[in-house]
Structure 1
Amino acid sequence: MIELKFPKDFWLGAATSGPQLEGRFNKKHANIFDYDFEKFPEHFWHGIGPDVASNFYNDFREDIRLMKKAGLNSVRTSIQWSRLIDDLEEGTVNPEAVEFYNAVIDEFLSNGIRPIINLHHFDLPVELLHKYGGWANKQVISFYVKYAEQCFRLFGDRVSDWFTHNEPMVVVEGGYLYQFHYPDLVDGKLAVQVAYNLQLASSLAIQKYREVNQNSDGKIGIILNLSPNYPASQDKEDIAAAHFADLWQNRLFMDASVKGKFPNELVEILTLSQFFRVTNVEF
């Protein structure tokens, strides 16, 4: 029998998020999932929402021991902005939330599991959507950067791997084009503005991380759900459509994150189509 071994330092892990795990216990603020479930429980499979989730808030120690038993040495999860931050505009923290996340991180580490922490998993505090327009307003970016800085300062001594957003294109398409995430809008110009602001928020959070990083081995990036695009036929219209889909779905966030600029061709197309909308409050 051939024995296969993982190479040294191979990460055998799993990925989840705060809103999928924790439940709504002891949270001052609702995120968009919490609010959506309150108002439209039919949007959720069998009416099962985020109030309890997998009860990680109460069972995290046992859950993490099971992760260790399964052989995991790394786990990606997220901090809930709506849990950690007490005053969303000032960026002050909730002491109970700090205690909770400290306990979770320490439990991971004591079980030999590397915590990989994401800052935003589709879970914008709904108050910022209703009061400011959410990611369509650049002022929300400043609130996000304050939140990110708190995370880096509070937990960066033990967490070395960070992400700014999970799959930001899902926020754009789900919330502003295809109606599968609250606020369930169909508005192309608003979708473009939200995409731009999400990328700007990521870039500014990374800049802040480099200013306050406590860990010489620390790394930060963005999680993208890249989608290969193929033309339906070899007709020039189908080829052009597939090329635009690649620019929009893949290269918008990838080029901006890796190369520091949006694809010129995408910018030209959106400009010609008058798809840029500038918000009143500039960052």
Structure 2
Amino acid sequence: MKVFLRYEDNDDDSLHKTLKITLPKSWVSGPASRLLEQFVESYNAGAGGSANQLAVDDMHLSVRRSSNGGVDGGGDTTLQDLPSDGIVIETISDREDVYICHGPSRTLTEINAERQSAIEKKKVDEEQLSRCVHFGCNQRFPRGGPYPTNCKYHTGPPVFHETAKFWSCCPNKKAFDWEEFQSLPACQSGTCTDVKDEGSESQKQFLGGCDIREKMNGPKLRSIDDFNASVAAGGSEGAPVLERLRSVLEELGVENELFDQVLEGIKNEVAHKLTTTDCDDALVVDESMQILGGKLKNALKAIAVEQLRIK
């Protein structure tokens, strides 16, 4: 296993140093502090040490990792401190750059305690803050205001379809990676708010391929038979549905006479409610379809409950 120890924590470039080390097997399973001791000893014995003596107790090791914990690989990275008692093979990758930085080392217990404290503090802070509900803003502010007036947002939810990412209100501006998507300009500006618009509770927070296809396809096209049945029933949308239901139930063993009897009874009740004598009126037929659908749904629910009871 090889590592590159780099000291760059100094404004004077002439005092920087890089040390390439092939680690003995005993070091690989040992504490990371041994690497720090080795580098400081080598540094102080060289040209940099005469002008910039380093003390082991005042230095620590760090590695540059991405936000998801991975080794250098593009994107945003930060220096993350290594615990002095961390095992080399468990905390450092082969041929990884290890940085020697000013500041005393900390143990794994101390680092974990600090991280947990930061997580708890962030949680408390977030409980006292509201997030703007406008799409794409994400600004936080005290509950109840004052509300930031520099809100940049979108009127529609984001769309994630295959490799493309874009805002539904700005379909002509697409991105193909997350950073590029986040940098897409907003189409609206105004004041932040933590109050959702009326009706927005049911609005999707993001859209996908199914939503796109549904939007492109529009309403389902009716067949010629459905169209003719609707026209014959005075424009009723329910008439062709009831005809298909009658045929399907017959295939399931429900006689047409029984279906007609039930439907006719429902239509008579609806016609009486609507104060009309025409049971074939479009409004009567359509409402009768809804009532029959509800009764069939309740019947299926009753069967499902019975099945659960049996189990």
Q: TM-score, normalised by structure 2?
A: 0.19
Give 1 or 2: higher helix fraction. 1
Tell me: higher relative CO, structure 1 or 2? Use CA pairs within 8 A at least 6 residues apart.
Answer: 1
Give 1 or 2: higher strand fraction. 2
Larger gyration radius, structure 1 or structure 2: 2
